[in-house]
Amino acid sequence: MGDTLSFHKRFWVTELICTILIATTILFKIQGLSLYLALSEVIAIGFFLNRFIYHGIYKRDYKFTQLSNRVFWILFSFGVYFLVLFSIRFMLHLPFMDSIWPIRGLVLGSCVFFIIDEFKPKVNQLLGGIIFLYTVLNIRELIDCLRSSSIRDLLFLGNINIYLYVCIMLITFSIWAIKESVYKRLPSWITPIAYVNVGMSLVFAFLSGGRLGWVVMGAVIVASFLLIFGGKWNSWKRILTFMISCSVVIVIAASVNFMQARPSLYRSFSVIVTRIPGLVKPAPETEEAKVSTADTSDKIREIFWAKAWTLIKENPVLGAGTFAVAYKQAIPSEYITAAQSAEIAKMQRPAHNFILETWMGWGIVGLILYVAGLFSTCYYILKRLVNIPKPLRICCVIPIVATAFLSLLQSFILLSFQATYIMWFCLGFASVADYYYKRGEIKNI
């Protein structure tokens, strides 16, 4: 009976984690304040009250593992620094409210790690949860396709780039699930579902016109296949078959101009195709498409970076005290439409670089602490969790590395709750994998 209850507890842990990740899209506005609270935060706050207050302080029956103890004290150190930083800003009458959003994602997102580390669900149960989450995301994006005229207009997670970003972090685990399915440790139907999900992400990446998205996604797919299945011919055959299948779908979509596929593909490959004599650029069908070009995007990003750096130089120690300030600056009219100018004037958006955003929001010390945290996480997984085979350790690190690389041009790693939560998932996944490999339960992980 006890084993049955234990199994169900571990199974529902995976469902809770999936719920938390999806609940990042549901926001509640707090009356009287221009402040939004995500449903995932409500769940996370409830978990912290239960674990740390009720079980940790009152009942005193919540015990940290070695890793979770280390994570707790790192977060505690972050908290002390933030309190000191905010106190100084408050006394100097400097802005600080906008800096709270990414702190909320960082601290409350850690509940995903603590849930996994405490209840230790089976690795394959977590993989099954990933496939479930991935499938839900793709179904939701397909539904949005029926209501939008362009892939770039899909807004389920905020915008299409956040969707692609999250998918890049799910790809490695999905390919890991394929291997477990091939070796009969997961149901055989997992394999086709995983392939379809990864394939849909790659197709969406190409059709969205995002250049860095499909480049990084393709690299993650190839690296994951080679690490998980080895570098033999069978692995390359899987990669080639998969890529050719996706290419056929992309060509068909472009031939019928599905959701403005042609202008988007031109945007992705403009650096190459503009050098081919006689190749005519497809005419954009909407005003939005006219300004959504690779060249325009690059020039606008340069403006934001320059303004962010100017703000940092004014106060490099404490930072600007706010996030997303660069995006509120004026943009030359030749780069955007009047409608976009009005939208930018009333909305805050990131400066498209997590280094600049962190420095602006948390000052130089906060930047050092944050970057050191990312590096130490990767180092700990690679060097300390030695019970996991090295290729699988690298697979746990790939999503974090890809996240940081992408966030040099987009600030998702810092400002997106979904990205922050999934990074905590990577650490928790590595923790339980190490636990089961250490116990020798390789055949039933």
> What confidence score (pLDDT) does residue 74 get?
87
- Which residue type occupies 345? A
CA distance 306 to 328: 13
> What confidence score (pLDDT) does residue 342 get?
59
> What confidence score (pLDDT) does residue 328 get?
58
CA distance 233 to 245: 18
Short-list 310, 314, 260, CA closest to 287: 260
Task: With beta carbons less than 8 A apart as the criterion, state whether 327 and 304 touch.
Answer: yes
Cite the DSSP H helix spans in 256-389: 261-273, 287-291, 294-314, 338-346, 354-383
pLDDT along the chain (445 residues), means of 10: 49 78 81 77 89 87 86 88 88 76 85 89 89 90 83 77 86 94 90 95 85 86 94 90 91 80 70 52 48 61 83 86 63 57 58 87 90 90 91 93 88 81 90 88 65
Q: In what helix (H) or strand (E) does residue 47 lie, and over which residues does it extend?
A: helix 39-48
Tell me, what DSSP letter sits at residue 326? G
Percent helix, strand, coil in the chain (nearest 5)? 75, 0, 25
Task: Give a three-class secondary structure readout of 219-272.
Answer: HHHHHHHHHHHCCCHHHHHHHHHHHHHHHHHHHHHHHCCCCCHHHHHHHHHHHH
> What confidence score (pLDDT) does residue 238 get?
92
- Which residue type occupies 367? L
Six token digits for residue 284:
């954009």
CA of 302: how far to CAs of 215, 292, 295, 327, in Å?
21, 15, 11, 11
- Which residue type occupies 435? Y
> What confidence score (pLDDT) does residue 153 get?
76
> What confidence score (pLDDT) does residue 408 get?
87
pTM for this predicted structure: 0.86
> What confidence score (pLDDT) does residue 157 get?
77
> What confidence score (pLDDT) does residue 205 get?
87
> What confidence score (pLDDT) does residue 192 get?
95
19, with CB counted inside 10 A (0-12, 13-18, 19+), is middle
